[in-house]
Structure 1
Amino acid sequence: MSESRSLVGALAESFAEVIQDVDADIGENRTYGAGIGPHDEDDQIDALVNAVRERDLFDGTIATAKADATAVRYPGGQSADLYLEADGRSEYCEAKLFRFQKANGNPYAQEFSKVFNPYQDRNPRSFIHDIEKLAAADIRHPKTFLGIYYRPVDGAGTEITSREIADKFAADVAHWTDYSISIDTVARFSDLQHEVHHRGAVLTWTLDDQPEQFF
């Protein structure tokens, strides 16, 4: 296991370790080009989890919303994107793509809104409201969050680092909600085959005010 504070942080580091192999094997998504970057969120998470399992990089159980909807469900009839168990611990995790350029390099305003829009509180909720949803849920497990950030290679945003995006999102959560999160992991990757979705990082955060019953 890694030295990350969270299970999902350890998973993020494993994602960064296998992402080039997944990128080479996943194939094209319709007309958007080869590699993992153009695929949708559930497919990316599921492919990365499967690769981590195959290489035995996570000593525990991982359930995804795509592969096992029952395992990620929690009281109240809602679901997370990931559920992890290892070393006697367990976590619920919300995940989102931080992919702000289309496959042709043009800005992707809709995807930016899915992460940062503080007003988008109905399906599809923005990631800010996903944080709020899980943070408010009555579950007695640590609550964590994961983003796969594709850092632009050309055009606007090329200078924005993975750490800066992670800081920005944490600041927005604190500004727009009653909750706060802290950066746990920034696991960088590069040299993917798509010319736009070519580099970035797997980001994770932990909820600052974890359920007291857990400790």
Structure 2
Amino acid sequence: MGDSLTLTGEVANLFVDVIDEVDKEIGENRTYGAGIGPHDEDDQIDALVTKVREQELFDGRISTAKSDSSEVRYPSGRSADLVIERDGEKEYCEAKLFRFQKANENPSSRGFSKVFNPYQDRNPRSFIHDVTKLAESDIRVTKTFLAPYYRPVNGAGTEIASREIAEKFANEVECWTEHKISIDAVAHFSGLQHDVHQRGAILVWNLEDQPDQWF
């Protein structure tokens, strides 16, 4: 377990503890190949949370947008992707899949724009705008951001390490928004069964200017 500052960072490390099992059990996503890598972000995160729950690895509560939609709503009616609670602490988390290659190793322009496009502020909103959405929401709890990153094995991007992509995203957020985020956890995984989506890390950032919590 890393020395994470947030509950989300702790959960990221737990995701890595169970990802091999989830990879074997989740099955294929249509014709894109076996394993967790080809699945969409909601399915990946929900499967990882379900396995953490099954093994009772986290002594708190984790709610996901897919399985616990009523538990992740903001007071304004918006929703987060994850809500994590333990011992009176509560964190709202936005999540996005960092997968920049398709299952056939071709570059995924859509996958890249869903993360980095500063102009994509409507559905599907880019992760940069997800940061703004959560940062500016009237929630007096810790705000975090999580991304499963699949580092290419062949082709462009093989040299881009997980921490480097985490730093790149934090820099882009600072460049294109009024907010700053800090890297909280980089939890590496490797050896998954898909030929393309087999290694990477669960990345976590936290908002630097956290709101004062109301108790």
TM-score range, shorter chain: over 0.9
Deviation, structure 1 residue 111: 0.6
**1:9-88 equivalence runs, <5 A:** 9-88=9-88
Q: In structure 1, how many angstroms separate the alpha carbons of the residues matched to 2:107 and 2:187? A: 24
Instruction: Name the residue aligned to 1:153.
Output: 153
Report the residue type matching 2:174 in the other structure.
A
Deviation, structure 1 residue 213: 3.5
Instruction: Name the residue aligned to 2:166.
Output: 166
Contact residue 189 and residue 199 of structure 1 kept, 8 A: yes
For this pair of structures, how many residues does the alignment match? 215
Instruction: Name the residue aligned to 2:133.
Output: 133
Deviation, structure 1 residue 76: 1.2
Deviation, structure 1 residue 214: 5.2
Deviations 1:135-190 (A, max 9, x none): 00001100000000000000000000000000000000000000000000000000
Contact residue 2 and residue 185 of structure 2 kept, 8 A: no
Deviation, structure 1 residue 2: 5.5
Instruction: Name the residue aligned to 1:179.
Output: 179
Q: In structure 2, how many angstroms separate the alpha carbons of the residues matched to 1:81 and 1:156? A: 30
Q: In structure 2, how many angstroms separate the alpha carbons of the residues matched to 1:47 and 1:120? A: 28
Instruction: Name the residue aligned to 1:122.
Output: 122
Could you tell me which runs of 5 or more consecutive residues in structure 1 were left unpaired when the two chains were aligned: none
Deviation, structure 1 residue 130: 0.2
Q: In structure 2, how many angstroms separate the alpha carbons of the residues matched to 1:191 and 1:5? A: 27
Contact residue 142 and residue 214 of structure 1 kept, 8 A: no
Query: Relative to structure 1, is the Cα distance of residues 213 and 86 closer, same or farther in structure 2, using a 3 angstrom cutoff?
Result: closer
Query: Relative to structure 1, is the Cα distance of residues 149 and 214 closer, same or farther in structure 2, using a 3 angstrom cutoff?
Result: farther
Q: In structure 1, how many angstroms separate the alpha carbons of the residues matched to 2:120 and 2:214? A: 31
DSSP-derived class of the 1:46 partner: helix
Q: In structure 1, how many angstroms separate the alpha carbons of the residues matched to 2:179 and 2:190? A: 32
Contact residue 29 and residue 39 of structure 1 kept, 8 A: yes
Root-mean-square deviation (CA, aligned residues, Å) is 1.1
Query: Relative to structure 1, is the Cα distance of residues 170 and 16 closer, same or farther in structure 2, using a 3 angstrom cutoff?
Result: same
Instruction: Name the residue aligned to 1:113.
Output: 113
Give structure 1 regions of 4+ aligned residues with deviation exceeding 6 angstroms. Answer: none
Deviation, structure 1 residue 44: 0.3
Q: Percent identity?
A: 69
Contact residue 149 and residue 202 of structure 1 kept, 8 A: yes
Could you tell me which runs of 5 or more consecutive residues in structure 2 were left unpaired when the two chains were aligned: none
